[in-house]
Structure 1
Amino acid sequence: MEVELFSSQFFVALFSIIVLDLVLAGDNAVVIAMASNRLPAHLRKRAIYVGTAGAIVVRLIMTFFAVQLLSVPYLQALGGLVLLPIAVKLLRPAHGEEHIEAAETFAGAVKTIIIADAAMGIDNVIAIAGASHGDFLLVVLGLLISVPIVVSGSQIIGKLMEKYPVLVVLGAAILGWTGGSMIVHDRTVGVMILTALPQAAYLLPAILAGAVCGIGAWTRRRG
């Protein structure tokens, strides 16, 4: 489903992608910082920039293939279901940090950033592919806007999310909405759902967004 360029739907989808990129990039920002931690100061910034550039290229390739795969019957619905536990997990309290071995060479740091980002970015790829509605231009624009923010201000983003938890809730709600939207736009499952209940095009995403926030809040209180 291509989105008309510069329409209101285009900007809503772009906003969703940027928020998802920022909210889901917390772990990736930690990876970038830890991987280059042992390098001399003059090499550290260069390793971060080169590694991030490589990670963006890999992420774009992964997202491009994910966008293509989502046109296969049932896969888009499956991708939507996969996003729901990811969204709930986003609202759970953090228990420790991911351990990333710091590299001692420029090439080692760049390689670690690219490989770790690719391994940890699968949830991002599925979410962004779904939120883009199959429009790869939205994916590219979203990454071009959000990645420099993540690289230059990862610590600021982390502090903002701690100070304003509503940002994380907003990201989780968008993930839940995206998951529901992916299900109702699946070429097979979506047709069956919309034939039975046309209003499900908006009802299901809204219900899943609310359910994600409710379950996430409940698990957060228990944690």
Structure 2
Amino acid sequence: MDFTAFTDASFWAALGSIMIVNILLSGDNAVVIALASRNLPPHQQKKAIFWGSAAAIIMRVVLTITAVKLLTLPYLKLVGGILLVYIGVQLLADSDGDEDMKAESSIWSAIRTILIADLVMSLDNVLAVAAAAQSGPEETRMLLLIIGLALSIPLIIFGSSMLLKLMDRFPIIITFGAGLLGWLAGGMIVDDPAITESLQAMFGDIRLLAEIIGVTIVIALGIYLKRKNSHQSE
């Protein structure tokens, strides 16, 4: 590896993006683990959290590596960018279903519940981390992925209460994170191998414009849906 890549601003920007999306998107996974194991005896709770987290992390490694490989195929970055926009909007609109998570009385049932829930919920984290890594220097992308996965481990196991309290106290963190996902989505879409050459031929380098549009769409639509949901609940 060329170590001059570590002096590249894009490496540190990508690493910062990975840290932020991990902080924002790993909290739900940590909550799932806590909720699924809350009815177990204390000594079994620790085992369920440990083994459930370990299995979930291994699954996340496989999903992330698969996502990175798939993002090299035509049209998949386009689809991935659209999914990131959706994830960002949902994050800002505060739409989640964790309250319905079933607490299990058996350690193996708890681990199974953790795995199933984490499989569904990790897709947003995996896609966002893969997209953030893609924005770094090519020779450091695998390292960025490894760092991103390593960061997710303590966040999943230990971070739920702290993360939720911080988000409740400083809601701007959620808005900032949703905007970041929109930024990553815009860059991912214009980088899709199927359309990037055509876009450059017609408009030149529009990556920055696409990133700004992504941020605008996510924040505007997310705030709109959040207000709409608020009015409906009233």
SS in 1 for 2:5: coil
Instruction: Structure 2: give runs of 5+ residues left out of the alignment.
Output: 230-234
How many residue pairs align between the two structures?
Answer: 222
Identical positions, percent: 38
Unaligned runs of 5+ in 1: none
User: Does 2:142 match 1:136?
Assistant: yes
Provide the residue aligned with 2:222 in structure 1: 216
Correspondence list, 1:118-133, <5 A: 118-133=119-134
Shift of 1:110: 2.0
Deviation string, structure 1 residues 124-175 (Cα, Å, up to 9, x no partner): 2222211110723212211212330332121111011011111101110111
Q: For the residues of structure 2 that align with 1:68 and 1:4, how far apart are their CA atoms?
A: 22
Cα distance, 1:75 vs structure 2: 0.9
Runs of 4+ in 1 over 6 A off after TM superposition: none
1:25 maps to amino acid: S
> What is the rounded CA distance, in whole Å, between the counterparts of 1:30 and 1:141 in structure 2?
22
What is the aligned partner in structure 1 of residue 196 from structure 2? 190
- 1:9–1:202 Cα change, 3 Å: same
CA-to-partner distance for each residue in 1:196-221, whole Å, 9 max, x for gaps?
Answer: 22231111011211221122122222
Matched, 1:152 2:153: no
Contact 1:18 1:143 in 2 (8 A): no
Could you say which residue in structure 1 is the equivalent of 2:111?
110
Deviation per CA, 1:41-69: give whole Å up to 9, x if none: 12212221221111111011011111101
* TM-score computed with the length of structure 2 as normaliser: 0.87
1:40 maps to 41
- Return the offset for 1:74: 1.0
Answer yes or no: is 1:77 the counterpart of 2:78: yes
Q: Which has the higher helix share?
A: 2
User: Conserved in 2, the CA contact under 8 Å of 1:181 and 1:205?
Assistant: yes
The superposition leaves residues 25-44 of structure 1 with CA deviations (integer Å, 9 ceiling, x where unpaired) of 23212210111111111221
Task: Please report the RMSD computed on the Cα atoms of aligned residues, expressed in angstroms.
Answer: 2.1
Checking the alignment, whether the CA contact within 8 Å between 1:150 and 1:157 is kept in structure 2 is: no
Amino acid at match of 2:61: L
* Distance of 1:89 and 1:149 partners within structure 2: 21
Per-residue deviation at 1:10? Answer: 1.4
Q: Which moved more, 1:35-44 or 1:105-114?
A: 105-114
